[in-house]
A and B are shown apart, each in its own frame.
Chain A
Amino acid sequence: MASIAAPTSEQTIAAARSERRPGGLWLLLPGPLGWMVFFYLVPLVILLVHAFWSVDYLTIQRTFTLENFRTLLTNDLYLRVLGRTAAMAAVVTLADLCLAFPLAYFLAKRVTKHRELLLLLVIFPLWSSYLIRVFAWKTILGTNGILNSFLLTVGVIDQPATAFLYSKTAMFLTFSQVWLPFMILPLFTVLDRLPNSFIEAASDLGANPWRTFRSVILPLSLPGILAGSLSVFSLTLGDYITPTLLGGPGDQMIGRLVADNFGMSNNWPLGATLVVPILVLVSLFIAVANRFGALGRTAA
Chain B
Amino acid sequence: MSSALPVSVDGRPRPARRGLLGRSGAGDRALALVSLLVFLFLYLPLVVVVVYSFSAAEIAVWPIEGWTLDWYRELSRDKEIHEALQLSVIIGVVSASIAVVLGTLAALAIDRYEFPGKAALRFAVVLPITLPGIVTGVAMLSFFSVLTWPMSRWTLIIGHTTFCIALVLNTVVARLGQLPRNISEASADLGAPPWRTFWRVTFPLIRPAILAGAVLAFTLSFDEVIVSFFLQGREPTLPLLIWGRLRIGLSPEINATATVIVLVSLAAVLVSNRLSKQATLGG
B138 with A47: CB separation less than 8 A? yes
Q: Is the CB of B45 within 8 A of A133?
A: yes
A267 to chain B, nearest CB (A): 12
When C-beta atoms are compared, the residue in chain B nearest to A255 turns out to be B134
Interface residues as binary, A172-214 with B (CB distance below 8 Å gives 1, 0 otherwise): 0000010011000000000010001001100100001100110
Inter-chain contacts of A241 with B (CB < 8 A)? 225-226, 243
- The distance in angstroms between the C-alpha atoms of A132 and B220, with both chains bound, is 14
Provide the residues of chain B in CB contact with A199, threshold 8 Å.
16, 18-20
Option from B4, B20, B261 in Cβ contact (under 8 Å) with A105 = B20
In the complex, what residues of B have CB within 8 A of residue A24's CB? 112-113, 194
Residue B234 is within 8 A (CB to CB) of chain A in the complex: no
Give the chain B neighbours of A153 by CB distance below 8 A. Answer: 62-63
The docked-state distance in angstroms from the alpha carbon of A295 to that of B124 is 12
Query: Judging by beta carbons under 8 Å apart, are B105 and A32 in contact?
Result: yes
The A-contacting residues of B in range 15-60, CB under 8 angstroms, are 15-23, 27-28, 31-32, 34-35, 38-39, 41-46, 48-49, 52, 59-60
Residue A127 is within 8 A (CB to CB) of chain B in the complex: yes
Would you call B20 and A43 a contact (CB within 8 A)? no
Instruction: Say whether B201 faces chain A, with CB atoms less than 8 Å apart.
Output: no
B216 at the A interface (CB under 8 A): yes
**Contact between A234 and B113 (Cβ–Cβ < 8 Å)?**
no
Task: Find out whether the CB atom of B239 lies under 8 angstroms from the CB atom of A129.
Answer: yes
Chain A at the B interface: mostly helix, strand, loop or mixed? helix
Known: A103-B35, A103-B38, A145-B60. A135 touches B131 (CB 8 A): no
Contacts of A123 in B (CB 8 A): 269
What number of residue pairs across chains A and B have CB atoms under 8 A from each other?
326
A36 to B121, CA, bound (A): 9
A18 touching B112 by the CB < 8 A rule?
yes
- B3 and A20 contact, CB distance less than 8 A: no
- Whole-angstrom distance from the CB of B79 to the nearest CB of chain A? 21
The answer to whether A200 and B181 touch across the interface, beta carbons within 8 angstroms, is no
Judged by a CB distance under 8 angstroms, whether B71 is at the interface is no
Contact of B45 among A7, A177, A286 (CB under 8 A): A177
Write out, one digit per residue, whether chain A residues 1-36 have a CB within 8 A of any chain B CB (1) or not (0): 010100100110111011011001101110111011
Asked whether A292 is an interface residue with its Cβ less than 8 Å from the other chain, the reply is: no
Q: Is the interface of B mostly helix, strand, loop or mixed?
A: helix
Question: Separation in Å of the B231 CB from the closest CB of chain A?
Answer: 11
Known contacts A125-B46, A144-B61, A258-B134; decide if A196 and B15 are in contact (CB<8 Å). Answer: yes
In whole angstroms, how far apart are the Cα atoms of A139 and B204 in the complex?
47
Provide the bound-state CA to CA distance between A259 and B133, in Å: 11
B266 touches A137 (CB 8 A): no
Give chain A residues whose Cβ lies under 8 Å from the Cβ of B31.
Answer: 102, 105-106, 110
**Chain A residues with Cβ under 8 A from B109's Cβ?**
25, 28-29, 32
Which residues of the partner chain A approach B139 to less than 8 Å between Cβ atoms?
A: 40, 43-44, 46-47, 275
Distance in angstroms from A14 CB to nearest chain B CB is 5
Distance (whole angstroms) from the CB of A278 to the closest CB of chain B: 6
Q: Is A244 an interface residue (CB 8 A)?
A: yes
Question: Given the complex, which residues of B lie within 8 Å of A156, measured CB to CB?
Answer: none
Closest to B220 in A: A127
B residues bordering A, Cβ < 8 Å?
1, 3-4, 6, 11-23, 27-28, 31-32, 34-35, 38-39, 41-46, 48-49, 52, 59-63, 101-103, 105-106, 108-109, 112-115, 121-128, 130-136, 138-143, 145-146, 158, 161-162, 165, 170-171, 173-174, 181, 185, 188-189, 194, 216, 219-220, 223, 225-226, 229-230, 239, 242-243, 246-247, 250, 254-255, 258, 261-262, 265-266, 268-270, 273, 277
CB-CB nearest 8 A-B residue pairs: A238-B132, A136-B45, A43-B143, A299-B170, A32-B106, A196-B16, A28-B109, A149-B61
Q: Can you list 23 pairs linking A and B with CB atoms under 8 Å apart?
A: A18-B113, A27-B105, A28-B109, A31-B105, A32-B165, A35-B162, A39-B158, A43-B139, A106-B31, A113-B4, A129-B223, A129-B265, A131-B223, A131-B225, A132-B261, A138-B250, A149-B61, A199-B19, A239-B134, A244-B247, A279-B131, A296-B122, A298-B126
